[in-house]
Chain A
């Protein structure tokens, strides 16, 4: 699920549950999740990225 789709779903669900005040918190969380997902150290199924590199310790 993309962050955009997740945010739409989460905001919709929060409103359905009567928690509209969650929206700004979810928007802030979405920004943080985007940062997490685009970080260079994320796992890569091709095996091309090896991070953290052990020889850097």
Chain B
């Protein structure tokens, strides 16, 4: 190989043809972690010994002709919400420091069966309840391009680990955007599959009906490879389709109304490239998009509070102060308002379905702002001061509410080089179809900083 593999697909070809070994690649990743984790704080736990052991086993199997597929021998990290037998699932909280998982989460089992090497557990916003990764018992994870900035969240350590070359993919969770947000601001591809498609068993919940799991990767093809492994259905995602045949809807009202000027111009340039490639773009409406934030808030607060109420009573000081207060706020949500929100959720689901009618996907920005500076609670945007958390969730949470599959793909960068993400939303329960659309548009949306 003339250059080191950058994507899982490239690495898989090199491993299968035995131009490199898993042990070599894992060793390189472990050295990168040793060099950079002190700065980025991406990992909470590194499985150095077991990762090397798994890599050697993968090399033995491949040499013996027992190649399992494109994840065989590939180092992957896990957000520290996923159970790995025999290790703590900390959720980046002192509340869970003594926890030891009795079994692997089913998603971890699926990755192991596909031959992946589990290299470690990554930092996150405590209990996944935040978008910046600042509130963690292990300190904030930091952006690989600028350590004074947030890598996004809540899967911030996951994004930093992939973007900085510490592994080839990471498993994250997404309740309001926690895979797509850090992927977008770190220049990665982040997939939130359709609701209910992948098991969340063995994963610490934030909000039982909004939670999703999915991968953060360096390409759409890599996201498809991990998705296929999680589904236990190798290569189901299929090939890209001709961009000239694509029909995309852009939901301008609300979603494009509050954008950083550079995010806006980067997104519009990406739209122009797609039009030039022959894709048909048209404006579409999600009439009650403005109600999404209230619907989302009343669901996530009530469900998170129900999970944490007993622990909040017994060990309140073991939470970080901001996360504790948000969870306490959830304990005051009334049942009738939760039910109203669930009714609104059904309406939003219908409206997203309607917006997608006759189209292949929706296209909108993933995050309205580039990676924010750590410690910045608000951001000035379109002339008003807005909470960073609200702004970062604005374009993603609707599709947790609706359950449609969604993916963030790099679509350029600001003049300071900070990545910007474009988000594609697929038809209900059709993640494989969304991946085909994303593969078709990836080259026109990008390049992001990761390639």
Contact = CB atoms under 8 A, between A and B. Distances in A.
A6 B353 CA distance: 35
A21 B294 contact: no
Interface residues of A, number: 24
Contacts of B353: 57
Nearest to A36: B294
A25 B332 CA distance: 11
Contact of A36 (B329, B344, B346, B354): B344
Contact of A37 (B293, B333, B337): B337
Interface string B300-322: 01000000000000000000000
B332 A29 contact: yes
Contacts of B343: 41-43
A22 B327 CA distance: 10
A35 B291 contact: yes
B31 interface: no
A51 B288 CA distance: 12
Nearest to B329: A25
Given A56-B350, A57-B350, A21 B298 contact: no
A36 B334 CA distance: 12
The SS class assigned to the B binding surface is helix
A52 B351 contact: yes
Interface string A1-40: 1000010001001100001011001100100110111010
Nearest to B326: A25
Nearest to A13: B332
A44 to B, nearest CB: 11
B109 to A, nearest CB: 38
B334 A1 contact: yes
B325 A22 contact: yes
Contacts, number: 68
A39 B291 contact: yes
Most chain B C-beta atoms within 10 Å of own C-beta, residue among A10, A19, A26, A52:
A52
Contacts of B333: 29, 33
A21 B350 contact: no
A52 B346 contact: yes
Given A21-B325, A22-B328, A51 B347 contact: yes
Nearest to B343: A43
Give the bracket for the number of chain B residues in contact with chain A.
20 to 34
Most chain A C-beta atoms within 10 Å of own C-beta, residue among B294, B295, B340, B346:
B294
A32 to B, nearest CB: 5
Contacts of A51: 347
Nearest to A51: B347
Given A36-B341, A56-B350, A25 B325 contact: yes
A46 to B, nearest CB: 16
Contacts of B346: 52
Nearest to B350: A52
A19 B328 contact: yes
B293 A41 contact: no
Interface in B338-390: 340-341, 343-344, 346-347, 350-351, 353-354
Nearest to B296: A32
A21 to B, nearest CB: 6
A37 B337 CA distance: 8
Contacts of A6: 332, 334
Contacts of B443: none
Contacts of A14: 328, 332
Nearest to B293: A32
Contacts of B344: 36, 39, 41
Contacts of A52: 346-347, 350-351
Contacts of A43: 340, 343
Interface in B147-175: none
A29 B302 CA distance: 12
B297 interface: yes
Given A41-B288, A52-B346, A26 B329 contact: yes
Given A36-B340, A37-B337, A29 B329 contact: yes
A27 B104 CA distance: 41
B337 A36 contact: yes
Contacts of A57: 350, 353-354
Q: Which 8 A-B residue pairs are closest in the complex by CB-CB distance?
A: A52-B347, A36-B294, A10-B332, A32-B294, A25-B329, A35-B294, A52-B350, A41-B347
8 contacts: A14-B332, A19-B328, A29-B333, A33-B298, A36-B341, A37-B337, A37-B340, A51-B347
Given A19-B325, A25-B329, 5 more contacts: A19-B328, A22-B328, A29-B332, A33-B298, A52-B346
